[in-house]
Structure 1
Amino acid sequence: MNFKKLLAGAFLGFAITAVQAQNSKKQDIEAIKDMCGCFEITFKYTETFAPEIDYEKHYDYNASALEWAQLIKDEKDELSIQHLLVVNDTMIIKHWRQDWLYENTKRYDYNYDNQWSFIEMPKKEVKGQWTQNVYQVDDSPRYSGSATWFHADGRHFWENTANSPLPRREYSKRSDYNVMMRGNHVEITDNGWIHEQDNEKVIREAGKEDELLVQEKGYNIYTKVPDAKCAAAKKWWTANQDFWSKVRTKWSEVYGRDKDLTLEKKVEGQALFMKLFPMDITTNQEKIDEIIEAYVVKG
């Protein structure tokens, strides 16, 4: 066999694979950015199956909202989207945030009781994958998962299962389970995107196997509307973005310790967001750091 031809063939194969990877990554980025803009959202959840026949199904949950999704970081291997709720066209509430990291090897996996385990993943396991990190309204951690975006047959989607705390719609109302295993399916559509969920509400205790309480189906449907409908949110973010950049700076330092993390649910009777939301937007970094650090029990 001609060595030069063999070498040329191997090089050509490598080059084709590299181009395909770059094209796929470009499609990934386009899909993630398609989640930015102004959206009318419907939230629908229904419990579907419980292993115990005497389990009493909870009422279905249905809600709607108007939300602005602002791209706040656009780098080669990292995209960040801040979500802002628009209430009655004028009132703005800082909502959740999602960060997307390419071939990321470090993340925090929720355990239970406000504890997150630091996980370092081998590089070969995350090749071509994107980690989605989801954060609370105060930029503290919520859940995280790594998977590959798929682009085929005109569809663009990403799916993963991640441990998370109770959702906001239930955390103040229920105590019969303590972990939600989120089956997340994010898919871009012609007129927006959907977040389809196949969730398991489980009871988790140290040294025991998880106990399934009930399964749940969820659909969050994001329908794109003109950006003008979210003009108030864009204006609010312009005024407030520096403050929240300082908050993220502190959290980045906490996450960068690469240790298991435990957070206080309340300090002086208040959850963290209750302290951050009313703060003067000109508050300095040192004061913000002090407030957040008070909630870090371990990490």
Structure 2
Amino acid sequence: MKKIFFLVALLSTVQANVKAQSKLDQDRVAIRALGGFYKVTFDYAETFSPDTAYHNHPQYHSWGYEWAAVEEDSPKKIVIQHLLVVGDSAVIKHWREDWVYEEPALLNFDQNSTWKKGTLKTTEAKGRWVQKVFQVDDSPRYESIGTWIHADGKHFWQSECDSPLPRREFTKRSDYNVLRRGNRIYLTPNGWMFEQDNQKIIRSAGGDKLLAREKGYEEFTKTDEAKFAFAKGWWQKQQPYWTAVRQVWDEVYAQNSVIKLKGKIDGKLLYERLFDLADQSAKEKWDAQKNKAEARKLINNYLDTNV
């Protein structure tokens, strides 16, 4: 009888493991599907404010071509680098997203270019993916956690977190200082959608105050890969340098519980200087050691240690 109970328990454990593995495989397929060659449309509109005297800002619309290149694909981590293509001969290194399975920590945005590391309980991380989103220079932007859902032929993931102002408003708005993102990513027949229900927050010592709500859609529609021929060659030359930059940032994230970045130094922001170094590295064919040394020196210069 004991042997029967043991076999039943063993079978149940095996079935649970197979089910979990099957779910993990589904998750990985969905995340990898975010990579590819796309035409992207960006649409945002403010919808509501608790202040009746507040006037909604104009709607935002833009579009472009974007290559979402899968840079790393390991069992529990997938890295996707976005590259914005402008015309036939210009490429801009855009945002990056790292997907990490059952990550035990989150880097949470506070305010004023400051992020604070927080830990997750095992039960909070189990079966869930953290999406880490980085700026164009691989500095932090926001991190959030959620569960990929696969049901009725649909595949989606959603989460909520705080972030800095979006790039489209960072240099134009000073009436709020935190964007609370309601993120929802789902696959579509022709690509994927990044849907957002955002809150524009005024954060102060007295607490958070809602300024306005916003609806956003970033639609990624598959397009002809031939449009990205120049981008492929450009990224091949730039990739070694940015690999070194990511390695330096990984060191920064591992060594600091609080990260605060400085603004302009001698008239330039960090991303401008890192972009300049990227071009110099490609032109002079720096090796991995020099790439990392130059990137580390520059990034350390922009880290505010008075935190």
The aligned counterpart of 2:209 is 211
Does the aligned pair in 2 maintain the 1:41–1:223 contact within 8 Å? yes
The aligned counterpart of 1:291 is 298
Deviation at 1:236, TM superposition (A): 1.1
Partner Cα separation in structure 2 for residue 105 and residue 140 of structure 1: 20
Partner Cα separation in structure 1 for residue 42 and residue 5 of structure 2: 56
Deviation at 1:68, TM superposition (A): 0.6
Aligned pairs, how many? 297
The aligned counterpart of 1:197 is 196
Which segments of structure 1 move beyond 6 Å, counting only runs of 4 or more?
A: none
* Larger proportion of helix: 2
Q: SS in structure 1 opposite 2:169?
A: coil
The aligned counterpart of 2:118 is 119
Corresponding letter in the other structure for 1:201 = K
Partner Cα separation in structure 2 for residue 258 and residue 264 of structure 1: 15
Partner Cα separation in structure 1 for residue 7 and residue 124 of structure 2: 29
Aligned pairs for 1:107-146 (under 5 A) are 107-146=106-145
Gaps of 5+ in 1: none
Corresponding letter in the other structure for 1:293 = N
Partner Cα separation in structure 2 for residue 193 and residue 104 of structure 1: 24
Q: Normalised by the size of structure 1, how large is the TM-score?
A: 0.97
Deviation at 1:103, TM superposition (A): 0.6
Aligned pairs for 1:107-186 (under 5 A) are 107-186=106-185
Partner Cα separation in structure 2 for residue 152 and residue 232 of structure 1: 39
Partner Cα separation in structure 2 for residue 227 and residue 24 of structure 1: 30
Does the aligned pair in 2 maintain the 1:86–1:233 contact within 8 Å? yes
Deviation at 1:226, TM superposition (A): 2.2
Deviation at 1:92, TM superposition (A): 0.3
Q: Normalised by the size of structure 2, how large is the TM-score?
A: 0.94
Of 245, 250, 271, the match for 2:243: 245
Deviation at 1:127, TM superposition (A): 0.5
Corresponding letter in the other structure for 2:201 = V
Q: SS in structure 2 opposite 1:32?
A: helix
Deviation at 1:258, TM superposition (A): 4.2
Deviations along 1:79-121, one digit per CA (max 9) or x if unpaired, are 1000000001220000000000011112210000001011111
Of 243, 252, 270, the match for 2:268: 270
Partner Cα separation in structure 2 for residue 277 and residue 215 of structure 1: 34
Q: SS in structure 1 opposite 2:23?
A: helix
Corresponding letter in the other structure for 2:300 = E
Superposition CA RMSD, Å: 1.1
Does the aligned pair in 2 maintain the 1:68–1:234 contact within 8 Å? no
